[in-house]
């Protein structure tokens, strides 16, 4: 397996009033190009911390992270991030929000027409051409999240990092966006790392599911291969034995081996 994103012996601790809090310990993970990996675990297990480390928003206390053989020393446009709460700038239209990212990555080498074309294309990919000139407050939560995805994809990142991107959406919208994301990933052949706490979402989307133990000092508990053929269809999978086997394995990990006391 060609390693594209490498996480090697990473440890992460935060300084708190009561001394150092170890969030992650001895985390090792290799992700291949074009792979879709989800990180799943109970809340507080450090899955978002791991994602933020790959994004470069956090620096590890110990260990090293690499993306395409280069050390991750901070955030960069080679790793597009989709935030849970979309984080669009409310005073910019959808077009301008995406354009801001496009301009940053391609502004030095390309002219305005080309930048506009890229922005249109990214919004077209998430089927939002009709809402380009709307402000984020004028569109629904699902549409905002799609603009967030378009913004991340428009930078043509090496890796797409998604932090519970559909967590704040209702179930129907979530399913719709999952289907759309599958199509986009297939078309763009993106490498995706997604944090989720939704077992069905993880099984439906992933090539591999990384299951994390409970914090503090969370580690990677198990890694599960999802060998279901693509393209996947949620209706067909509902009666698929392989799907239920994998789903069962994840549930067993979360609710038997690493059960978390209700807080």
Partner 1 sequence: MNIRRYFGENLFPPIIGIGLFIVVWMILAQSSEALPGPIKTWDSAVVLFSDPFYNHGPNDQGIGWNILNSLGRVGVGFGLAALIGIPLGFIVGRVEFIDKMTSPIISMLRPVSPLAWLPIGLLVFKAANPAAIWVIFISSIWPMIINTAMGVRQLPQDYLNVARVLNLSEWKIFTKILFPATLPYMLTGIRLAIGTAWLVIVAAEMLTGGVGIGFWVWDEWNNLNVEHIIIAIFVVGIVGLLLEMLLVRLAKRFSY
- In angstroms, what is the minimal distance from the CB of 43 to partner 1? 19
- 6 neighbors 66 (Cβ within 8 angstroms): yes
**Cα 57 to Cα 47: distance, rounded to the nearest angstrom:** 14
Write the interaction track for partner 1 spanning residues 150-169; mark x where CB under 8 A is met and - where it is not: -----x--------------
* 135 near partner 1, judged by CB under 8 A: yes
112: nearest Cα among 125, 121, 99: 99
**Cα 106 to Cα 167: distance, rounded to the nearest angstrom:** 31
**Cα 260 to Cα 263: distance, rounded to the nearest angstrom:** 8
* 115 near partner 1, judged by CB under 8 A: no
Beta bridge partner(s), residue 218: 24
* 92 near partner 1, judged by CB under 8 A: yes
* 89 near partner 1, judged by CB under 8 A: yes
* 85 near partner 1, judged by CB under 8 A: yes
* 188 near partner 1, judged by CB under 8 A: no
Nearer to partner 1, 163 or 200 (CB): 163
Size of the site for partner 1 (CB under 8 A): 22
Indicate which single residue of 12, 29, 31, 55 sits in contact with partner 1 (rule: CB under 8 A). Answer: 55
| CA 257 distance to own-chain centroid | 25
Indicate which single residue of 83, 115, 156, 180 sits in contact with partner 1 (rule: CB under 8 A). Answer: 83
Phi, psi of 207 (to 5 degrees): -90, -35
Measured distance between the N- and C-terminal CA atoms of the chain, rounded to whole angstroms = 40
- Site residues for partner 1 per CB under 8 A: 55, 57, 74-77, 79-81, 83, 85, 87, 89-92, 100-101, 104, 135, 137, 155
């Amino acid at each position: 397996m060609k390693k594209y994103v490498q996480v090697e012996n990473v440890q992460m601790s935060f300084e708190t009033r009561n001394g150092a809090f170890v969030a992650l310990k001895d985390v090792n993970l290799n992700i291949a190009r074009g792979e879709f990996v989800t990180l799943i675990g109970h809340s507080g297990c450090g899955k978002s911390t791991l994602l933020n480390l790959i994004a470069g928003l956090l620096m590890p206390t110990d260990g090293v992270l690499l993306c395409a053989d280069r050390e991750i020393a901070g955030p960069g446009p080679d790793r597009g991030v989709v935030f849970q709460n979309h984080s669009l700038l409310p005073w910019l239209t959808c077009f301008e929000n995406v354009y801001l990212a496009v301009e940053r990555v391609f502004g030095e080498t390309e002219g305005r027409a080309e930048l506009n074309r890229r922005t249109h294309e990214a919004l077209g990919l998430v089927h939002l051409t009709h809402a380009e000139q709307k402000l984020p407050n004028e569109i629904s939560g699902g549409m905002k999240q799609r603009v967030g995805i378009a913004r991340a994809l428009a930078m043509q990142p090496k890796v797409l990092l998604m932090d519970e991107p559909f967590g704040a959406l209702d179930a129907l919208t979530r399913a719709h966006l999952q289907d759309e994301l599958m199509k986009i990933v297939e078309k763009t052949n993106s490498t995706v790392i997604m944090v989720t706490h939704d077992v069905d979402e993880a099984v439906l989307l992933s090539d591999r599911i990384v299951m994390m133990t409970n914090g503090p000092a969370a580690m990677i508990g198990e890694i599960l291969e999802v060998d279901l053929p693509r393209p996947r269809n949620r209706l067909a999978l509902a009666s698929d034995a392989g799907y239920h086997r994998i789903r069962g394995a994840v549930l067993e990990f979360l609710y038997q081996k690493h059960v978390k006391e209700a807080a």
